[in-house]
Chain A
Amino acid sequence: MKKLGNILYVTTPEAYLSLDGENVVVKRDDTTAMRLPLHNLENIVCFNYPGVSPALMGACAERNIGLCFLRPNGRFLARVTGRQKGNLLLRKKQYELSQCESACASIATSMVLGKIANCRTVINRAIRDHALLVDVSELRATSDFLKQMLQSVQAGATVETLRGLEGNAASRYFRVFGQLVLHQREAFAFEARTRRPPQDNMNALLSFLYTLLTYEVASALETVGLDPYVGFLHADRPGRPSLALDMMEELRPVLADRLALSLVNRKQISGKGFTQKESGGVLMDDRTRKEVLVAWQKRKQEEILHPFLKERIPFGLLPHVQASLLARYVRGDLDAYPPFFWN
């Protein structure tokens, strides 16, 4: 099993990263703030302005270390990829499958099933653990509704109808999501999902976590040799990492939604860490962002039993495991893509 590599997050706006031997050096006002050997890293995620030296970019590309730039507010800017590696035949097969309606439907069915089932788990856990704090009847109704959705998804559908079902399930799930906020209800009130820009604190937190997840899924797909831009469920659009978005669907409730709720319910972050801009968009401050990143890294080290592999893995390897399972399906080694079911 692959080792879960560490990720360096650069959140100091004025930091500059350079290469020295085999080390990445984080400089601040021309003094070295941090020096790390590259072989301990798997990814570098930058929220800084001055950026990274070309030598370090090259070294990262060569060693298969992901390097990605985000705006300080978490919006994605760019990702550095080196020479295309991996298996050309695998990618050709992927493009072929993405043209084939029935193959797309089969993969998309798995992914949507995984997503709805995992959303349902999030709700069922709240019913189980906090029956006194939540509106059980409403949550139960949503959970039952999602269960029915699972059946309609399984009944076999086209990609078009799958997108509809997925959207339906998501809006129904987000209608009760606000209920799962047990503490700090005023600061983290949640009505509906808003994005570009997120309109309230909870949405800002979710958007930030989704950005982190998209990036990690995209690098995982690239690592196994798949093209993150050619999807099965999401339509092709220039510059959109459709396959990464596809694979995220099933992982969102597990890795992002649940973590957002824990951070709020455990009061690890507070409403004070968020500011509303004139445009209505909400931004996190530096301290909150660091808190979220630390929680995200810790969360990834927790272990779960993967239901398909029957192996204990850290949460953080889920994108890699799912990506390699998808690659196996594309190659024809598996009869269907097994989504991750959380229970």
Chain B
Amino acid sequence: MMVLITYDVNTTSEAGKRRLRLVAKQCRNFGQRVQNSVFECLVDAAQMKQLKHRLVGLIDPERDSLRFYYLGNEWRNRVEHVGTKASIDLEGPLIA
């Protein structure tokens, strides 16, 4: 399934900057960055559980926020892209 993950991490302190880096790193391990704090992750339910657990453990719930948008398997009908930086279709032919 496709999950869209967005986050807002408060970076006024050093600890906040560190959290931002760690959150971004985890997201990048599971999906592709489509905008600055927006990731598209093509994962199965188990991988999603794992990712969510890790992210929730990283953030400071007093200062930061995470949003998960579950787009399911028919996500293609629900996503439209306009402008630069088109994402890679991970289920289509991958030729580098």
Contacts and interface: CB of A to CB of B under 8 A. Distances in A.
Given A21-B28, A22-B29, A23-B28, A298 B93 contact: yes
Given A23-B29, A40-B42, A10 B96 contact: yes
8 contacts: A6-B94, A8-B96, A9-B95, A10-B96, A22-B28, A34-B88, A36-B88, A298-B93
A22 B30 CA distance: 7
Given A6-B91, A21-B25, A37 B96 contact: no
Given A12-B96, A294-B95, A298-B93, 5 more contacts: A23-B29, A36-B88, A37-B28, A40-B90, A294-B93
A36 to B, nearest CB: 7
A7 interface: yes
Interface string A119-144: 00000000000000000000000000
A60 B28 CA distance: 18
Interface string A281-307: 000000000100110011000000000
Interface residues of B, number: 19
A297 B30 contact: no
Contacts, number: 60
Contact of A293 (B30, B88, B93): B93
A6 B42 CA distance: 12
A293 B95 contact: yes
B92 to A, nearest CB: 7
Interface of A: 3, 6-12, 15, 21-23, 26, 33-37, 39-41, 290, 293-294, 297-298
Contact of B94 (A8, A21, A39): A8
Interface string B23-37: 001001111100000
Contacts of A290: 95
Contacts of A294: 93, 95
Contacts of A6: 90-91, 94
A36 B94 contact: yes
B96 to A, nearest CB: 4
B43 interface: yes
B32 to A, nearest CB: 7
B11 interface: no
Contact of A26 (B31, B41, B91, B96): B96
A37 B95 contact: no
B30 A39 contact: yes
Contacts of B32: 35-37
Contacts of B42: 37, 40
Nearest to A41: B94
Question: Which 4 pairs, one residue from A and one from B, show the smallest C-beta to C-beta distance?
Answer: A22-B29, A297-B93, A26-B96, A8-B94
B47 interface: yes
A298 B28 CA distance: 27
Contacts of A23: 28-29
B27 to A, nearest CB: 10
Given A21-B25, A34-B88, A39 B47 contact: yes
B57 to A, nearest CB: 17
A36 B92 contact: no
A33 B88 CA distance: 11
Contacts of B47: 39
B93 to A, nearest CB: 4
